[in-house]
Structure 1
Amino acid sequence: MSWLDSTVHRALVEAAMVGALGGVVGVFVIVRRLPFFTMALTHATFPGIVVAALLGLNLYLGGGLFGVLVVLAVVAFSRVRGQDFTSATGIALSGGFALGVVLVSSQDGFSKDLTAYTVGDVLAVSTGDLAITAGVALAVVLVLALVGKELLLAAFDPTGASALGLPTALLDFALLVLIEVTVVAVVPALGAILAVALLVGPAATARLLSDRLAVLFPVAAAIGVLCALAGVWVSSQWNIAAGASIALLVGLVFGLAFLGSAVRGRAARARAAGPAALPEEARA
């Protein structure tokens, strides 16, 4: 009997992979201020899910392919004069989701259950899901190894990147596709609604803990893995939704880091102010 034949073991492996993947890619989401785009992407891929359901295809494949079209649309809209990236994302979000609703409403008797896609269930992942997640993780690592520095330069200094002759439009497209495939890989575990938690929370928490870019990637990945594994354990022990458990733990860890950061900041300001910040009776 294979170790991966166990439901819990498969869930733990999937949780570890999506936690690390979400943490690493999430650093780019935070650096480029793309949380709204990430959330929009989870909803804008809905038409691809509906089409895949109608054709009897894999739901995640449908969502992934349509997601690439959404990314192309966002990049194209954002480069039109008078439009910014946020507006383009909003257009893609509303348009994509509306198209999905139209497709569903046009099909009399549409009965395909899309709960698995919208909510997810890490305890129900198959070995095929594990293979897909591993493939996505490998592809992400290869892309970051090849153009990771260029992506970071374009994120921090797009003007400088253009001056150096870098293809910023292509780099933007590559980054958005990385986010899109990561969202699709995370969906089986957390669902489309909660996938954004693993792509924003761990990286945002790491950002509170360190300002050094080289530290953000391993810290975010570690936070993502620990929260995902802990969420699976909580789910198996108390029979509650695994995706929601993971998302709640990510939020809890971020909240604790935020409070710790606020306390450290207040202490640092008090030290910088020196004795003048103390009450008169304390200085005497």
Structure 2
Amino acid sequence: MEILMSDFFQRALAGGLLIGITAPLIGLFLVLRRLSMIGDTLSHVTIAGVALGFLIEVYPIAVGLIFAVLASFAIEKLRKAYKSYAELSIAIIMSGGVALASLFFTLGKGYNTDVMSYLFGSIYTLDSTDLKLVGVVTLIVVIVVALLHKEFFLLSFEEDAAAVTGLPVKLLNMLITVMTALVISTAIKIVGALLVSALLTIPVAVSLLMARSFKSAIILSVVIGEIAVVIGLVVAGIWNLAPGATIVLLLIMMLILTMIGKKGFRA
């Protein structure tokens, strides 16, 4: 139990709680827009940026964040070019991200172990700089969603109607995608690039089964994300398990129990 009181665990908990807010908040709009896989795409691109950061000896998360934001612009550009095949943009950018990551891995064999920690998460190594960056991103996301949640709601369900009402659809689409890039690039050190998409989507999946309104779906998705982060970190800390994997498996368990509960209630 001593681990729970250690400084590194307290930093991990703080970082996890912050991501537990932002990931489900953004994830809800991604799920409603049928863009759930964008998390995997941007996480792969972020890993390419992290690898380059190690290669040129620059703060890896910062380089990964730049890569993710640039990729978000590219995704929106391709989505407009292929309106009937929006998912094609995700496939193209993901392929490019994987290719760049592989190239940088080859060029920098000496740091591959460090990069691997970003693939599977390294929440116990969070430092004050990481926490400050995650805190800033959390503040940005919370403020933007609080101010524009109605506009995002309309955009998510009926983009054409949103355009007719005079909303700046192009700007709002770009804003959601850029915020997604910010969240993913700061979350990969916490849960890992291979698992970050789960934190974006599974809390939302659980909340959609329980919520009776859009507002309650927002609240529930964040609450579920926070519960999974706290319990997952405590369990992982006590039993020496992988934190990111523990959080994600706990989320899946919550989803299964919710589905069983819904089925039993209907019966």
TM-score normalised by structure 1 residue count: 0.87
- Counterpart Cα distance in 2 of 1:128 and 1:166: 37
Give the equivalent residue in structure 2 for 1:8: 9
- Counterpart Cα distance in 1 of 2:59 and 2:221: 30
RMSD: 1.9
Check whether the contact 1:202–1:223 (CA below 8 A) recurs between aligned residues. Answer: yes
Moved >3 Å (runs of 4+): 108-112
TM-score normalised by structure 2 residue count: 0.92
Check whether the contact 2:82–2:88 (CA below 8 A) recurs between aligned residues. Answer: no
How far has the Cα of 1:108 moved from its partner?
Answer: 6.6
- Counterpart Cα distance in 2 of 1:243 and 1:100: 21
Check whether the contact 2:206–2:258 (CA below 8 A) recurs between aligned residues. Answer: yes
Aligned ranges for residues 35-74 of structure 1 at < 5 Å?
A: 35-74=36-75
How far has the Cα of 1:81 moved from its partner?
Answer: 4.7
- The size of the alignment, in residue pairs, is 263
Give the equivalent residue in structure 2 for 1:282: none
Aligned ranges for residues 25-40 of structure 1 at < 5 Å?
A: 25-40=26-41
Aligned ranges for residues 221-240 of structure 1 at < 5 Å?
A: 221-240=222-241
- Counterpart Cα distance in 2 of 1:108 and 1:88: 29
Q: CA 1:82/1:225 → structure 2, altered by over 3 Å: closer, same or farther?
A: closer
1:85 to 2:86 alignment: yes
Give the equivalent residue in structure 2 for 1:176: 177
- Counterpart Cα distance in 1 of 2:144 and 2:235: 34
Give the equivalent residue in structure 1 for 2:248: 247
Check whether the contact 1:77–1:83 (CA below 8 A) recurs between aligned residues. Answer: no
Check whether the contact 1:59–1:117 (CA below 8 A) recurs between aligned residues. Answer: no
SS at match of 1:180: helix
Aligned-partner residue type, residue 246 of structure 2 = S
Check whether the contact 2:75–2:89 (CA below 8 A) recurs between aligned residues. Answer: yes
1:218 to 2:227 alignment: no
> What stretches of structure 1 of length at least 5 have no aligned partner?
268-284
Task: Name which of structure 1's ranges 239-248 and 81-90 shifts more when overlaid on structure 2.
Answer: 81-90
Give the equivalent residue in structure 2 for 1:127: 128
Structure whose CA Rg is larger: 1
Q: CA 1:7/1:104 → structure 2, altered by over 3 Å: closer, same or farther?
A: closer
- CA deviation profile, 1:213-232 (whole Å, cap 9, x unmatched): 01011111111111001111
Give the equivalent residue in structure 1 for 2:261: 260
- CA deviation profile, 1:238-259 (whole Å, cap 9, x unmatched): 0111111111101110111112
- Counterpart Cα distance in 2 of 1:58 and 1:49: 8
Q: CA 1:109/1:208 → structure 2, altered by over 3 Å: closer, same or farther?
A: closer
SS at match of 1:193: coil
How far has the Cα of 1:82 moved from its partner?
Answer: 6.2
How far has the Cα of 1:69 moved from its partner?
Answer: 1.3
- Counterpart Cα distance in 1 of 2:191 and 2:9: 15
- Counterpart Cα distance in 2 of 1:187 and 1:101: 17
- Counterpart Cα distance in 2 of 1:13 and 1:81: 40
- Counterpart Cα distance in 2 of 1:102 and 1:133: 28
> What stretches of structure 2 of length at least 5 have no aligned partner?
none
- Counterpart Cα distance in 2 of 1:81 and 1:8: 45
Aligned-partner residue type, residue 28 of structure 1 = F
SS at match of 2:156: helix
Identity of aligned residues (%): 27
- CA deviation profile, 1:178-226 (whole Å, cap 9, x unmatched): 1111112211211111111211111110001113101011111111111
Give the equivalent residue in structure 2 for 1:118: 119
Aligned-partner residue type, residue 44 of structure 1 = V
Give the equivalent residue in structure 1 for 2:18: 17
Q: CA 1:115/1:35 → structure 2, altered by over 3 Å: closer, same or farther?
A: same
- Counterpart Cα distance in 1 of 2:109 and 2:169: 46
- CA deviation profile, 1:84-136 (whole Å, cap 9, x unmatched): 2201110110122112212333x275534202211112222112222111111
SS at match of 1:165: coil
